[in-house]
Structure 1
Amino acid sequence: MFTPSSHDVRRFFCDALRKQRNNEILTPMDAIAADWIVQHPEYHDQLGDVDAAIARDYSVEGGQANPFLHLSMHLSIAEQVSVDQPRGIKAAHDLLVAKRGEHDAHHEIMECLGEMIWASQRNGVPPDTEAYIECVRLRAAR
Structure 2
Amino acid sequence: MFNPSRDEVRTFLIQAWQKRQGNGVLTPLETMAADLIERHPEYVDELQDPEALEKDYSVEQGRTNPFLHLSMHLAIAEQISIDQPPGIRAAHAKLAARLGEHDAVHEIMECLGQVIWEAQRLGQPLNNETYIDLIERRATKTGRK
Give the structure-1-normalised TM-score. 0.96
Deviation at 1:48, TM superposition (A): 1.4
CA distance in 1, matches of 2:78, 2:134: 18
Deviation at 1:6, TM superposition (A): 0.8
Residue 136 of structure 2 is matched in structure 1 by: 137
Residue 60 of structure 2 is matched in structure 1 by: 61
Deviations 1:66-91 (A, max 9, x none): 00000000000000000000000000
Give yes or no for the alignment of 1:10 onto 2:10: yes
> AA paired with 1:31?
T
Deviation at 1:3, TM superposition (A): 2.1
Q: How does 1:104-123 map to 2 (within 5 A)?
A: 104-123=103-122
CA distance in 2, matches of 1:2, 1:91: 25
CA distance in 2, matches of 1:3, 1:93: 25
CA distance in 2, matches of 1:5, 1:124: 21
Residue 43 of structure 1 is matched in structure 2 by: 43
Task: Structure 2 unaligned segments of length 5 or more: list them.
Answer: none
> AA paired with 2:39?
Q
Deviations 1:5-37 (A, max 9, x none): 111111111111111111111101101111111
> AA paired with 1:103?
H
CA distance in 1, matches of 2:84, 2:23: 32
CA distance in 1, matches of 2:29, 2:103: 21
Deviations 1:45-102 (A, max 9, x none): 11113x3111211112222110000000000000000000000000000110111111
Q: Relative to total residues, which structure has the larger helix share, 1 or 2?
A: 1
Moved over 3 A (4+): none
The number of residues matched between the two structures is 141
Query: SS of the residue aligned with 2:53?
Result: helix
CA distance in 1, matches of 2:38, 2:75: 17
Give yes or no for the alignment of 1:128 onto 2:124: no
Alpha-carbon RMSD across the aligned residues, in angstroms, is 0.9
Deviation at 1:118, TM superposition (A): 0.5
> AA paired with 2:28?
P
Give the structure-2-normalised TM-score. 0.94
> AA paired with 2:22?
N
Deviation at 1:2, TM superposition (A): 2.7
Residue 19 of structure 2 is matched in structure 1 by: 19
Task: Structure 1 unaligned segments of length 5 or more: list them.
Answer: none
